[in-house]
Chain A
Amino acid sequence: MQGPDLSVVAFLLLSALTLGGGGGVIFSGNIVYSALSLMVSFLGVAGLYVMLEADFVAGVQVLVYVGGVLVLTLFAVMLTHRIEDIKVSNRGVGKLPGLAAALAMFAGLIAALEVAPWKLPAEGVVREAFPSTQSIGNALLGRYVLPFEVASIVLLSVLVGAVVLSRKEVAEPRVSDDA
């Protein structure tokens, strides 16, 4: 094959999208721009999932993160800021120690990545079929059925809890004077 491998090019582009979005999140001074950069990063991660043959998870990523979490975040941004002070709403402090800690963490992770004995499959092992939805469904209702049910309880309590936490306080508690 002549020319660069297409999958490598796609990987580099998606990584640039992911990390560029992440950079926008952490360096932008405007929290609305941060939220939109977060969307770019989420989409890049979804593309990486597609490259890793995780089609179902990529779909879930787009649906839940881009469609849910990000919209929720933008709602929270809009609800907690007056429009005029939105420019200065995203200040950061302690940038140098934070950068040092993050870089130290990164160096540690790289070092661990180099020395760790990853268990890779032997050559020629047949991998599962590419559409992963069926095997994920089987796993969720077979081996992982208990975590799956616990997850539904968690989601139910989150639903109730979010409503309880974010509803408006009743203006005046009603006194029961029906006696």
Chain B
Amino acid sequence: MFIQQLANGLSVGSVYALMAVGYALIYSLLNFTNFAHSITVTIGAFTTFFFLTYAMENLFLGIFAGILTAALLAAFIEFIAYRPLLKRNARRVYLMIIGLGISVMGDNLVIIAFTGRFRIFPVNFPSESIQIFGSNVGLVDILIFVVSMLALLVVELIIRKTKLGLAIRSASYSLEATSLMGVDTFQLILWIFLIAGSLAGVAGTLLGAKYTAYPSLGTFYTNKAFICAVFGGLGSLPGAVVGALVLGVSEAMISAYVSTSLRDLFAYFLLIAILLVRPSGLMGKSSEDKA
């Protein structure tokens, strides 16, 4: 039972991590929380669902379509909603308010367009399980964990090994100083949204596959991911991953050994607790080392 719950928790936690890293990336550059993140997750799930239902039942192409759409949507939101405010040097709280507006509006537009139905992906995911230390662990959970970790690894490699990554790490310290190096910071910000949106697309697809696609999918799970990002230390990428895995496993354990009704409450309890005890989060340092 324990191993089973641990696997389940790591699987959910790794999906939280995909979304939490998206929050952390954007926060590390722009010092605001992109609440519009949720709609990119939902749209990622829906795109994959529609692709599999109406185009072809090719899971890989379906996932790719979900990632691409979510990334483009994130970039679109940056371009039409955030950029004009950034250009005017508006206070970050206004960007957060706009993000919240987009999130609520997005949920409602999805309901209007596709109704509030829950949609099951028309692909038979492996329902078998394998034996690990005498426990049955679902193959889906392993698959989700591996895909999430691979996606995070790609992002880590981009940040550590590429010129774009170097610019992102510089900008996480100071956007202004980075612009003095000749970097077009608006282009850089667009890249960040593309990366965060891609991760949101992966998360949406995996969540849709595990739980079905529905209009408030993104909002529900990004709320959790936001808590993971705060718990890990807003703006810290390793912190976001650790926070996500901690929350995922804790939730799985609580629903197995305590009560399923307390599971969702736990996340918010954790949020309040960390803000009271250590407001900068587990790995949140000063503004020096965010990416």
A in complex with B: no
